[in-house]
Amino acid sequence: MKEKLTIAKLKAFCIAESKIQNKFLFGVTDGKAVGTHIEHKFQEQLNSKYKTTIGSSASGIDLPSKDILTDIKVTSIKQPQSSCPFKDAKQKIFGLGYNLLIFVYDKIDDPKTRTAKLDFVSCLFISKERTADYTTTYRLREMVKDKANIEDIVAYLSDKNIPADEITLNQLAKQILKTPPVQGYLTISNALQWRLQYQRVVTLDKNVQGISKVIDKASK
């Protein structure tokens, strides 16, 4: 009988899968193709050992069960970033709404063996509470501390081109003043899809509640 997958086991499994050698990825330069291959392999191995739900493209999250609720991201250390579906502007301020498990790899091709070595220099688990935009949440927290009002908050959100209409911005401002956002650690760029950048968290050299560095070679 399969064990139930927990977040703790997910982190441990990340260590076990920290290095993958693959002949199919030799010479592949498309980061999306590399990421998709690793994500699918990781999902298959999780599914074979643990009792869990593997998401579909429709669900948008790789591990959508309520007790896990984690999306898997695979990215190169050369430019650690990826995209995710845009749901609403609140995600940039209050987080994506789900956890992230991020594999950051350094790909080295061996022409002699014609295989690719993927050295995972970082494996990060980021709780959903920390998945908002760093600069936006930092400034909004400072504004609340400095007794900003609704108009101040709306003006800031408008200046930063937060993708929302005036009514939504006012609703966001009220929510921010009532419940200031937790400090996020991603860089989230506005687009038809959110563009998530992980450089800040990859090189993070202090302990932050909600961020676990299962593997950490990148910040050394």
* 150 and 116 together in one domain: no
* 10 and 118 together in one domain: yes
Structural domain count of the chain: 2
Q: Rounded to an integer, what distance in angstroms lies between the CA atom of residue 118 and that of residue 105?
A: 6
- Residue 51 pairs in a beta bridge with 4
Please check whether residue 84 lies inside any domain of the structure. Answer: no
> CATH number for the domain including 34?
3.40.210
* 171 and 103 together in one domain: no
Smallest CA-to-CA distance from 96 within 107, 106, 84, 108 is with: 84
Q: What is the pTM of this model?
A: 0.88
* 69 and 155 together in one domain: no
Vertex 205, ends 202 and 206: CA angle to 5°?
120
Please check whether residue 191 lies inside any domain of the structure. Answer: no
Per residue of the chain (220 residues), give pLDDT as tens.
778 878 787 777 777 766 666 788 888 888 888 888 888 888 888 888 887 777 755 567 888 888 889 999 989 999 999 999 899 999 999 999 999 999 898 888 888 888 888 788 888 999 999 999 999 999 999 999 999 999 999 999 999 999 999 999 999 999 999 999 999 999 999 876 899 999 999 999 999 999 998 888 876 6
Domain extent at residue 174: 135-178
Cβ–Cβ < 8 Å for 43, 56: no
Q: Helix, strand or coil for residue 32? A: helix
